[in-house]
Structure 1
Amino acid sequence: MTPPSSTRPVALITGASAGLGLALAHGLADRGWALIIDARGADALKDAADALADRTDVVPLAGDVTDAEHRADLVDAVGELGRLDLLVNNASYLGTSPLRPLDATDLDDLRRVYEVDVVAPIALTQALIPDLTAAAGIVVNISSDAAVEGYEGWGGYGSAKAALDHASRVLAAEHQELAVYAVDPGDLRTAMHQAAFPGEDISDRPEPATVVPAFLRLLDARPTSGRYRAAEFEPAVTS
């Protein structure tokens, strides 16, 4: 792989073998961004990288974001490419499916939710702050409406995303040279959303690719750091 030039932007996207992470990777590849992509499944990640490689430089690194050694490998990959303009903390864990009431949630499973959805994004961001700062970069933490609404069965995932939202606000206050966003993409037709509604037909939910233009508009506009819904950046519909 040929390293990108110093003017070519670089993005690191976690959970990028499927769903929103993969859709965002394709959207950025179409713009010529170099990519570092991560996911737990090596085979699916390789397939994703192969599909992206005809348009851009892509570094696939399979592993678990809760693993410190894997995060170190991601940081090393950034170092090899020489810069980092965008970190997308997309990898998430819903919890046991079907979802359980909070008073019946297994605490070991709840810890796993928090390790994946809160601790790992903070840890990876910590490790990449120097690179992001050097590029006056952007951090996008993928949130959910469950972070602000009290849905039955969503206590673990929703509270973890609420914690990530608040961590995003604190990071923005502490690093004003960065743009830090918690973004709710809305309900999408993904494997995780299907796991939240086992046995139900979720074909009415939009495909992840449909919200990519909104994310790209967010990156282009670079508004004040904060929490946003992807719908706020959807192109206006004209008749």
Structure 2
Amino acid sequence: MTHRRTAVITGASAGFGRALSRALVQRGWRVIGTARRADRLEQVHAELGAAFLAVPGDITDPEHRARLAAIARDTGSLDLVVNNASRLGPSPLPRLADYPLDELERVYRTNVIAPLAVLQRVLPVLAPDGVVVNISSDAGVEPYPQWGGYGSSKAALDQLTAILGAEHPDLSIYAFDPGDMRTEMHQAAFPDEDISDRPEPETVVPALLRLIEERPKNARYTAADFATRIMR
């Protein structure tokens, strides 16, 4: 009997997480999807069927992370973890000199602490050839004004991912920058702009699927890196 691969995807109710969930289910995967909006997760379940297991909750909540790990453990084998859930911070985006520190703490709890906490829970049940992908951003590399909160959190996530990759060379651990996309978060970052020229998340998913299948060395990659085939 063919092994059915299983993925955990955070932020699976909309945008890139939903598009990735759909693509994996279409390829025969089982997806354990989590997000805060139970109603939206249920819509994804209604679309994708029994192969999508909706687990509503907040990844900053330790009890929810424990439940997510228990469900992953019960599947018998976990092949992929995608930490996609992110918090943008205040909209419009403030300058760092004016950034509310309580909001900055929330951004870091969601974008840095929670992904590591999820991995601490699920790495023990990840398959020996498992893959971890932490969704990054060019804001973690480029010093864009007003992007200091979100950008610095993604920079921290990139370094965290790099160290995890060095500590677990037997696993495939990546930071992946999908680039600008037409999502609610991107619209919130530019509340007065028309973002209809940004690509739909579905158009970026093939790049991540190629990363998962090709498994180059542990590093940070962008969607553009997979316009041509990457060799190990």
Q: TM-score range by the shorter chain?
A: over 0.9
Percent identical among aligned pairs is 56
Letter of the 1:20 counterpart: F
Structure 1 residues 22 and 235: CA distance shift in structure 2, 3 A: farther
CA deviations on 1:63-106 (whole Å, 9 max, x unpaired) are 10000010011001101111110000000000000000001000
Per the alignment, residue 125 of structure 1 pairs with 119
Secondary structure class of the residue paired with 2:216? coil
Task: Find the aligned partners of 1:6 and 1:78 in 2 and give their Cα distance.
Answer: 19
Letter of the 1:226 counterpart: A
Q: How does 1:172-211 map to 2 (within 5 A)?
A: 172-211=165-204
Per the alignment, residue 148 of structure 1 pairs with 141
| Residue 15 (structure 1) aligned with residue 11 (structure 2) | yes
Per the alignment, residue 41 of structure 1 pairs with 37
RMSD: 1.2
**TM-score normalised according to structure 2 size:** 0.96
**TM-score normalised according to structure 1 size:** 0.93
CA deviations on 1:122-142 (whole Å, 9 max, x unpaired) are 00001111112x332110000
Letter of the 1:18 counterpart: A
Task: Find the aligned partners of 1:108 and 1:138 in 2 and give their Cα distance.
Answer: 33
Letter of the 2:45 counterpart: A
Secondary structure class of the residue paired with 1:136? strand
Question: CA contact under 8 A between 1:214 and 1:235: conserved in structure 2?
Answer: no
Per the alignment, residue 70 of structure 2 pairs with 76
Q: 1:32 aligns with which of 18, 28, 32?
A: 28
Task: Find the aligned partners of 1:209 and 1:235 in 2 and give their Cα distance.
Answer: 18
Question: CA contact under 8 A between 1:6 and 1:82: conserved in structure 2?
Answer: no
Secondary structure class of the residue paired with 1:62? coil
Unpaired segments ≥5 residues, structure 2 = none
Secondary structure class of the residue paired with 2:55? strand
CA deviations on 1:188-226 (whole Å, 9 max, x unpaired) are 000000000002100000000001111111111110010
Letter of the 1:102 counterpart: L
Question: CA contact under 8 A between 1:194 and 1:200: conserved in structure 2?
Answer: yes
Task: Find the aligned partners of 2:28 and 2:98 in 1 and give their Cα distance.
Answer: 47
Q: 2:227 aligns with which of 231, 234, 237?
A: 234
| Residue 65 (structure 1) aligned with residue 83 (structure 2) | no
Per the alignment, residue 109 of structure 2 pairs with 115
